[in-house]
Amino acid sequence: MKRIRAFLIAMHPLVAAVICCHAFWMAVSQRHWIWLGPLLVNAPTLSLAVWLVRRGRSGCGSQLPVVLLCAWLGSAWTLLGTLSLDDPQPLAWIYTAIGLVGLAACLLWYFPQYRERDDGPRPGQRLPVLTFQDLRGNAVSSTSLRGAPAVLLFHRSDWCPKSVELLRLLARHRGALGRRGARIVLISADSDARSCRMADRLGVPLERWIDPDLAAARQLQLLDPGGTPLGLELLGHQSDTVDPTVIIIDSLGDIRYVDKAGNSRYRSEPVTFLRVLDSAVPASR
Give the Cα separation of 270 and 47 in Å (integer). 26
Tell me the mean pLDDT in the region 98-122.
Answer: 66
Other CB atoms within 10 Å distance of the CB of residue 28 = 9
At 270 the three-state DSSP class reads helix
pLDDT higher at 217 or 135: 217
Give the Cα separation of 168 and 191 in Å (integer). 20
* pLDDT beyond 50 at 260: yes
DSSP string, 168-230: HHHHHTHHHHHHTT-EEEEEES--HHHHHHHHHHHT---EEEE-TTSHHHHHTT-EETT-SPT
List every span in the chain annotated with CATH 3.40.30.10: 131-279
pLDDT higher at 255 or 207: 255
Do residues 248 and 257 touch, judged by C-beta distance below 8 A?
yes
Tell me the mean pLDDT in the region 50-59.
Answer: 48
Give the Cα separation of 178 and 181 in Å (integer). 5
Q: Which of 165, 214, 205, 160 is nearest to 187 (CA)?
A: 214
Tell me the mean pLDDT in the region 236-242.
Answer: 77
Tell me the mean pLDDT in the region 21-33.
Answer: 86
Q: What is the pLDDT of residues 136-192, one digit of tens each?
A: 888 999 999 988 888 898 888 767 766 776 777 777 777 777 788 888 888 888 765
127 pLDDT band (50/70/90 cuts)?
very high
Phi first, then psi: give them for residue 207, nearest 5 degrees: -70, 140
For the entire predicted model, the pTM comes to 0.65
131 pLDDT band (50/70/90 cuts)?
very high
Domain 131-279 top-level CATH class:
alpha beta
Q: What is the pLDDT of residue 113?
A: 44
Specify which of 26-40, 164-178, 233-247 reaches the highest per-range mean pLDDT.
26-40
Q: What is the pLDDT of residue 249?
A: 93
Q: What is the CA radius of gyration of the chain?
A: 22
Do residues 170 and 204 touch, judged by C-beta distance below 8 A?
yes
254 pLDDT band (50/70/90 cuts)?
very high
